[in-house]
Amino acid sequence: MEKEKIPRNKLCGGGVTPKVLSLLDFSLPRELIERSVRSARIHVGDDSYDFETERTLVYMTSRAPFDAFLTEKASEGGAELMTACPVREVKITDSHAEVRTPIGSFRSHMIIGADGTSRPVASAAQLRSSWNPDQVAYAIESEVHVGQKGVEDFVQSSGYLDFFFGVSPSGYGWIFLKDDHLTVSVGCRLSRLRDGRGLFKEFVKRISTLAGDNVPSPQVHLIPLGGATKVPTVGKRVLLAGDSAGFAEPLFGEGIYFAVLSGQIAAEVAARACSLGRFGKGHLKSYEKQCHRKFELDFDVAYHVACFSYLAI
C-alpha cells in the first residue's frame, strides 16, 4: 500500500550504491542512471580534499522513476500494488492485523511497516509513539535545475559528489549531481536545530558556484540516525523495515541499501511465520537478530565516526 500515486516525489539524495544492486536479482535500466560517480570532494571550512577511485562509488538516480521501477518489479513478482492509498488506522488483534484506508479495510496475518518516520504502524504496534530529537536528523533539500552544462561546470571533469562539514551544528551539507540538476541539501540533528530554512539559506550562500542560480524553495524530511535510534522493530504481527525501523546509516545518511536488505529479511521472516502460523513477538524476534547481525556493526562504527566528525552532543 503506497500513500501516494506512483510515480511520486521522494526527498532523497538518490544515491544507489553498487552494494544495493548486489542485493537485487534484476538489473537497473540504463536510463535510470543519471550519473556514475567515482570521485568525492570533502570540504572542511575553506579547505577541500579530493578523492578519486577507479570504481563506481555510487549511481545517481531520481527517486520518482527509481521507485516506480521497483514497484513495477514487485508487481511482476506477484505483489498486488495499491497506490494513492494512505493508511488511516492500524489495528493489531490476537487473530489478525487490520489496516483501514480511504478505499476500504484490509486484514492480513502480518504487517511490514515501511512507512518511514511517519510511524502509523509503529504506533499501532506500541513500538514507538514519537522520535526523540536526538535520534533523527532534519534534512532540508532543493533540486536546482542548471541544465547539463551547468552540472558539468559545477562538478568538473571528475564528476564529484560534494560534502561540506562545518556548515551546520551536528550536521553537514551535500550537493549531488544528476543529469540536468543538482540536489542541494543540508542536515542537522533535530535537537540542535534552530532555524532550518535559515540554515539552508546560509549554506547556499557559501557555495559561490551557485551564485545567480534560481534555487527553489527547499523541502524537509527526517532521517533516523541509525546508530542512535536503537528502537524496537518487532511487535505482535508487525515488523518494521527501512527508515521506519531507524535503518539509515548515521554518517552520511544512506538508507536505500538498508531499506532493501531489511525488507528482504522481513519478507523471509514473515513468510516463515505464515507457514508456521506463529505471529508472536517472541517468534518474530529472529528478524531483529538478523538485522543486527547484518548491519549493526556498520551503524555503530559510522555513528562513532559521525560523533567525532560533526555530531557534537
Could you list the pLDDT tens digit for every one of the 313 residues in the chain? 999 999 998 888 899 999 999 999 999 999 999 999 999 999 998 898 999 898 999 999 999 999 999 999 999 999 999 999 999 999 999 999 999 999 999 999 999 999 988 878 998 888 888 889 999 999 999 999 989 888 888 877 667 889 999 999 889 999 999 999 999 999 999 999 999 999 999 999 988 878 767 889 999 999 998 888 888 999 999 999 999 999 999 988 899 999 999 999 999 999 999 999 999 999 999 999 999 999 999 999 998 888 887 775 4
DSSP 3-state of 87: coil
pLDDT in the model for residue 71:
94
Whether the CB-CB separation of 58 and 161 falls below 8 Å is answered with: yes
pLDDT in the model for residue 313:
47
- The strand pairing partners of 186, in sequence order, are 140, 173
120 phi and psi angles, rounded to 5 deg = -60, -40
Strands 97-101 and 89-92, how do they pair?
antiparallel
How many angstroms separate the CA atoms of 21 and 18, rounded? 5
How many angstroms separate the CA atoms of 272 and 39, rounded? 42
Task: DSSP for 229-285, please give it.
Answer: H----EETTEEE-GGGGT-S-TTT---HHHHHHHHHHHHHHHHHHHHHT--SHHHHH
Sheet with strand 58-60: strands edge to edge? 15-16, 58-60, 35-37
Name the grid cell of 32: 535510470
DSSP 3-state of 306: helix
Instruction: Determine how many CB atoms are found less than 10 A away from the CB of residue 199.
Output: 22
Burial of 59 per CB tally in 10 Å (0-12, 13-18, 19+): buried
pLDDT in the model for residue 157:
63
How many angstroms separate the CA atoms of 185 and 176, rounded? 9
Encode burial over 149-168: b for 16+ CB neighbours within 10 A, e otherwise.
ebbeebbeeebbbbbbeebb
Rg (alpha carbons) of the chain, rounded to whole number: 20
Nearest one of 89, 17, 3 to 259, comparing CA atoms: 17
Task: DSSP for 148-206, please give it.
Answer: HHHHHHHHTTTTEEEEEESSSTT-EEEEEE-SSEEEEEEEEEGGG-S-HHHHHHHHHHT
Q: What is the pTM of this model?
A: 0.93
